[in-house]
Amino acid sequence: MSPTGGYVALLILNGTGGAPKTAFYRHEKSYVALLKIEGKSLRKVAQADVGGSPKGSRSAPTGNTSTWGNFVEGDIDILRRDGDSLVKLGSFSLQGHPASMRGSTP
């Protein structure tokens, strides 16, 4: 949930990770769905692909940027919320898998 309110980001695993390659529900990528909070309702406004079987995420204090750790690829995807859309800013590789993530702010 955005620390400033108004939005929620949900991770959809999408059959990535441990699913057999022949499974009908398996996909190569997971995705992040951006939901807008409107009173007591939620409405999906955007989605963006991330890697396979993400294991952790972190949102910046402003709520506009988030990172998603992808276990299958061993990397981190960086997303930015721009109004009601999600923009993938890039990714960077890790030496290991992001089985757990944490972050801190000053």
pLDDT in tens, 51-95: 988 877 888 877 788 889 888 888 999 999 999 999 999 999 988
Q: pLDDT tens digit string along 20-55?
A: 888 888 888 999 999 999 999 999 999 999 998 887
Indicate the SS3 state at residue 13: coil
Give the contacts of 50 (CB within 8 A, at least 6 positions apart).
11, 29, 30, 31, 32, 68, 70, 77, 79
pLDDT the model gives residue 100: 64
Whether residue 104 has pLDDT greater than 70: no
One-letter amino acid of 23: A
Specify the pLDDT at position 33.
95
6 contacts 36 by C-beta, under 8 angstroms: yes
pTM value is: 0.83
